[in-house]
Chains A and B, each alone.
Chain A
Amino acid sequence: MQAPATIPIEKIHQSTRLIKAVLGDSLQDIVPSYNSIALFYEEGKESLIEELTSAKVSNQKDSKSIKKLELPICYELGLDIDEVAVHSGISKDEVINIHLSGTYRAILIGFTPGFIYMDGLDSRLACPRKSNPRKYIEYGSIGIGGEQTGIYSLASPGGWNIIGRTPLHLFDSKRKPPMSVEVGSEVSYVRITKEEFETWGN
């Protein structure tokens, strides 16, 4: 990713929300990325594009539609939190406090199913990816990969440093929409204990 982004990511996210609002379920899929938005529609539904270009929308109300989520996080399930602390030259408690004070924004979803790339990581917590990726990372794991942070909303292999885990199922194939986080969503964290994690939702 060496080319400069010519379109601010906020614009991409805002346009994505507007397109979803205008076309709703008649659109088969929509894939926003750093400087483009791909629309998927069924054959013969080309009129959707006309509908979109002729739609009159006000973007003033849009800022209100940015989702803000507060996710519970258990740092005791952060498999690599000690390594991050050592790498950053600070204590584990400082790692936790710095991480808790941040607000993170979902930039892109993908790479592996349900993986949420986010910005907003305090540079003090930046930590290179693990040289040996794990074959299995539990759902809800929150990781740091270099300057980026992300959530493995589904279990998958991965090489990021896991600093905590949320008990929430951010991705549920039976829910509509299946993900509660979308690109542009703002995420902050609330600390929970291991006991609270284990009994979450019971």
Chain B
Amino acid sequence: MGKLKVIKAGALSTIQDKGRFGFRQYGIPQSGAMDIKSMKNANQLVSNKSDWPVIETAIQGIELVALEETVVAVTGATVTIQVNNRQVAMNASNHLQAGDFLCISKPMEGVYSYLGISGRLEANEDFGSNSTYVMAGFGGIEGRVLKQGDILQTQNAPVFKASSIQTESKTNEIEIIHIIKGPEWKLLKDLPERTIFQIDPSSNRMGIRLLGDPLNIEGEEILSSAVIPGTVQLPPNGIPIILMNDCQTTGGYPRIGKVIDEDLGRLAQLNPMRKVRLRLV
């Protein structure tokens, strides 16, 4: 079992798991961790099942106090982690005693960090998932972002077995994001690969917005059709938007491509103004 109390939450800290599936036909977004691999790693390091809910923080850090002895691990964006003002490693298991303060800094590199806590985190379950979807109040704690005073309680903590994870930390001047052709690919007059885009600071859990020279396309809007996380939409201004986990289920802009699932976590972690190239697989 584990029990932690939130001292400082950060504006965008939520509980996330792998997301909700099977309810898109009812307009329910997928949600779930923006960087699934890091979420699974956080669980693995504390001996949890890989798809159990974890804490996702974005842009800002989080501070907690342990109310019971437990094991935690932090993965994802590069942060500094302190236990009672002593620095400990990320991408590693850390044992906490009752009364220990855990302080996770804002990221030096990357956007989303994941805190795994030994055991299954107690949270609202809606449509088969504990993932927080703030707009409709699904999952998490009361369907909202975490706030000061929230208690994070886990149950059924597995027997701890030390494990290690593989992480890739090399960054490239221009990140290549791989896409496959979307249903409206044929409307494109330019190859997306020709443009070097930058990550727009207004990107969020609904979508990654880009900055750069517009792509030309024939026709502006389509009849609302299904979209999913990874769909590359091209609005009339010609600058692609890559839809992410909290995106709606249908959209009316041409779907020129789809970022392959494998690259979605890496894309989510790119800081504002980082350079990207969209390349066909």
Contact = CB atoms under 8 A, between A and B. Distances in A.
Contact of B22 (A1, A29, A179): A29
A154 interface: yes
Given A34-B224, A114-B27, 14 more contacts: A3-B219, A3-B221, A5-B223, A28-B21, A31-B24, A31-B226, A31-B249, A31-B250, A33-B224, A34-B225, A36-B223, A114-B28, A156-B136, A178-B127
A147 B27 CA distance: 21
A40 B25 CA distance: 10
B25 A109 contact: yes
Contacts of B24: 29, 31, 40
A38 interface: yes
Interface in B184-213: none
A200 to B, nearest CB: 23
Q: Chain B: interface residue count, which band?
A: 20 to 34
B224 A1 contact: yes
A112 interface: yes
Contacts of A38: 225-226
Contacts of A154: 136
A2 B220 contact: yes
Given A33-B223, A109-B26, A154-B136, A1 B250 contact: no
Interface string B138-162: 1000000000000000000000000
A112 B135 CA distance: 9
B252 A1 contact: yes
Please indicate which of the listed interface residues A2, A3, A29, A179 has the most CB atoms of chain B within 10 Å of its own CB: A29
Interface string A176-201: 00110000000000000000000000
Interface of A is mostly: loop
Contact of A35 (B21, B223, B248): B223
Given A29-B22, A114-B26, A156-B136, A35 B252 contact: no
Contacts of A28: 21-22
Please indicate which of the listed interface residues B22, B25, B127, B249 has the most CB atoms of chain A within 10 Å of its own CB: B25
Contacts of A111: 27, 248, 250
Nearest to B136: A113
Interface of B: 21-29, 126-127, 135-136, 138, 183, 219-226, 228, 248-250, 252
B230 to A, nearest CB: 13
Given A111-B248, A112-B136, A36 B226 contact: yes
Nearest to A31: B226
Nearest to B221: A2
Contact of A109 (B27, B135, B223, B252): B27
A173 B126 contact: yes
A111 B226 CA distance: 11
A104 interface: no
Given A28-B22, A154-B136, A113 B28 contact: yes
B223 A29 contact: no
A110 interface: yes
B22 A115 contact: no
A192 to B, nearest CB: 25
A156 B143 CA distance: 13
Contacts of A171: 26
Contacts of B226: 31, 33, 36, 38
Contacts of B183: 36
